[in-house]
Amino acid sequence: MKEKWDFKTFDCFKNPVMCLWAFCVPCGDCCMQSCNAKITEPENPNAGLYGFLLPCCLGVCGASFNRYKLRHKMNIEGAPIMDCVCHCCCSPCSVIQEWMHVMKHKRGDEKITILNLNTK
């Protein structure tokens, strides 16, 4: 049975540091997707690189593909078209939703920020 996202798309303000990071830092959302890919695909040494380059080079299409891969890896319900809609409407909020879901399930705390990722 497929799981649901633990956070809604516009729950992005629950982690204000990552909200600022995604909205204000150039390529901040690409960095977040790269970290998510490295954490969810530890067996793939290039996951972080692909996770960064896809949204950086292909924009919404790349970010949507990263979201699709993340949903598949973490057994989250959804459809590729909805991944695209989420990233077209508000990509930073979608990336923060992905970030908080991964941090909650893989690191045990959705409040982890990219600034203290390696200290947890």
Q: Which residues pair with 3 in a beta bridge?
A: 76
Indicate whether 84 pLDDT > 80: yes
pLDDT digits (tens, 9 = 90+) for 5-41: 999 999 989 999 999 999 999 999 999 999 999 999 9
Write the pLDDT tens digit of every residue in 60-81. Answer: 999 999 999 999 999 999 999 9
pLDDT of residue 73: 93
Q: pLDDT value at position 119? A: 57
16 exposure class (CB count in 10 Å sphere: 0-12, 13-18, 19+) = exposed
